[in-house]
Structure 1
Amino acid sequence: MDPRHCKLYHIHDQDSRQFLDHYFSDKAEMIFGKDILAFPITCFAKAFTAGHIKGDILLDLSFGSLVHHLYSACECFKDIIVLKDKDRCILELKRWTDKRTGAFHWGHVTKLHVDLEGKSHQLEDKEVKVRSSMQHVVKCDLEKENMTEPIVLPPADCIISVWLLDAICKDQDDYIRYLRKFSGLLKPGGRIILFGSLGITYYIVGNKKFHAFSYDEDFAIKALEGEGFIIDECKIHKRTSVSDLVDYKALIFIVAHKEKSL
C-alpha cells in the first residue's frame, strides 16, 4: 500500500490505548489472541529459558506501549531500558508500571506466561517483577545519530524490537538504515530479537489507517546478514485470525547475534 494514502506511525498521531484495545485486550471480541499474544509469548519464553540470551543490559525498541514480550526477558537481564519516541506511549507504560488508575489491563498476559512456565501460583509475583524491571523508560529520537541524546547508553547485550520496523519503515532502504542504527547499540557478539508481520501493508487504529512496511522472510534474513548478524533462530506463524483491522499474512520471530570482529 502506498504510504502516501495512509497515516505514518512516527509522524501522525496514534492513540496508544486504542491500539492496545484493538489488538491485545482480554475482551471476548478480541480475535488476535493466538497470533499476537500466544505465539510471541511462546517464542520469547523458549528463547530466554534456553539460557543463552542473558546479560547486564537489554534495550527494548518496540512499537506502542507493549509489555508482553518482556515477561520472560526480565528473568535474564539486570537492567531493561525501554526506548520510546512518543510521549503518549511513555505515559501509557508508566500508568501500568506505577499501577495508576486507568492503566491497561495485562493480567491475561501474565496468566499466559505463568501457565506456560508451570508457575500459576506466582501470578502476582510475576507482574511485580515485570513492573520493577521496566523502571528505565527513556525518550528517544529515531532520526538522531545518538537516539537518546544527551544520554549516552552503554552497549547492550541484547536488543528486542517488536513491530517497530514494520511501522516506521517506508521501504527496504529504511528497514536496513534503522536496523544498522539498532546494531550500533549492541556489544560485539550481542543479540537482536525481531518480531514482525510478513506481507502487511496497513493496520487500523480507531478510524485511522496506518501504513506498514511489507516484506518477506527472505528479506528480513538477508537484511540481518547484510549488517553482520548470524541467524540463530527463525520461526514463522501463518495467520489464523480473520479481521479487516490489519492485513498481515504471517508473523516472524528472529533471533540473531552480532558477529565479533577479528
Structure 2
Amino acid sequence: MDPTQHKIYHDGGFHSRTFLNTYFANKPGMAFEEEFLKRFMEELHYFFKFANIKGGTLIDISIGPIIYHLYSACEYFKEIILLRFNEHCIIELQKWLHDRTGAFDWTHTLSFITEKEGSSAQLEEKDLRLKDTVKHVLKGYVDRENIIDPLELPPADCLLVINVLDVISRDKDDFIRNLKKITKLLKPGGQLLLYGVLNATYYTVGEHTFHILNYDENFIRKAVEGEGYVIKHCHVRPRTSESDLTDFKTIIFISACKN
C-alpha cells in the first residue's frame, strides 16, 4: 500500500456516514466494537469520575462526527463545544443535535454508558442532557493560525482530542504545529485529554484509504511536554482486534495539565 496515495481527512473524499457505519454502528461483525466503543467509553467514564476533571467549558476536537464519548463528559462540564475540520462531519453532528431525520443512531452507546453509571432506565434524559450541554458546533481550519478564525473563544477548561491530530498532520512537524494551535484554545492550568494511535499508517472509509501519521510513544510524549504540558497520566493498550481496515498497533491516552 503506497502511503503517498492516501487521502487526507480534511481535504476531501471523507464520507462521515460511511465512517460511522464502518467503525461505530450497532450491527454484527463490527471489528473494533470492544476497542473503539466499549473500552473507550469505560476508560473515559472512570477517568472523569475519579480524576476530578471538570469545569465550565470542554472543547471536543475529534475525528469524524462521533459523540458517544461525551455522554460521560457532559456530567462534569457546564458546556461543550464541538470543533471539527470536516464539513460533512458538521452536517452529521447537526442532524444528531437537532434530532433530524436520518441522524445516526447512538442508542447502543447510550445504553452502554448509562448501564455503567447505574442509570440504564434514563436513556432519554441522558441524551437530552448531552444535547443541552453542547452549545456550539464549529468549523476548524487546519491551514489557519487561529483554527477557528475569524471567531474567538474564551480559553476552555479542558480539551478532549481524539485521533484527529493523527489524521490532519502530514508529518511530525505538522503534528507539533497543530498541537500548538489547539493548545491556544486551553486556559493555563487546563486539562488536555489526548487519544492517539501508535505505529499506524492508514485507515479505510468505504473505497478510500486515508493517511494516519506514523509515530511512537516517545514522540507524542515529547511533543506534549514540548508545548508546556505536564503529563499526569499516560496509558498505552495494545490492539486486540483483527481487521485490515486500519493498521495501528496500540492506542495511547494522555492526560496533561497546561502550565
SS class of match (1:75): coil
Q: Give the structure-2-normalised TM-score.
A: 0.96
Match of 2:164 in 1: 164
Match of 1:140 in 2: 140
RMSD of equivalent CA atoms: 1.3
Conserved 8 A contact 1:35-1:237: no
User: In the TM superposition, what are the counterparts of 1:105-254 in structure 2 within 5 Å?
Assistant: 105-254=105-254
Q: Give the structure-1-normalised TM-score.
A: 0.95
Shift of 1:145: 1.9
Conserved 8 A contact 1:54-1:77: yes
Distance 2:89 2:200 in 1: 22
Shift of 1:140: 2.1
Conserved 8 A contact 1:167-1:211: yes
Between 1:51-60 and 1:104-113, the stretch displaced more is: 51-60
Distance 1:197 1:111 in 2: 26
Which residue identity lines up with residue 65 of structure 2 in the other structure?
S
SS class of match (2:221): helix
Distance 1:68 1:78 in 2: 17
Shift of 1:220: 1.2
Which residue identity lines up with residue 78 of structure 2 in the other structure?
K
Identity of aligned residues (%): 46
Distance 2:132 2:2 in 1: 41
Distance 1:154 1:237 in 2: 34
Give deviations 1:122-146, integer Å, cap 9, x for gaps.
2221111112222410122122122
Shift of 1:246: 0.7
**Matched residues, number:** 259
Is structure 2 residue 58 aligned with structure 1 residue 58? yes
Conserved 8 A contact 2:57-2:77: yes
Conserved 8 A contact 1:3-1:170: no
Conserved 8 A contact 2:16-2:64: yes
SS class of match (1:150): coil
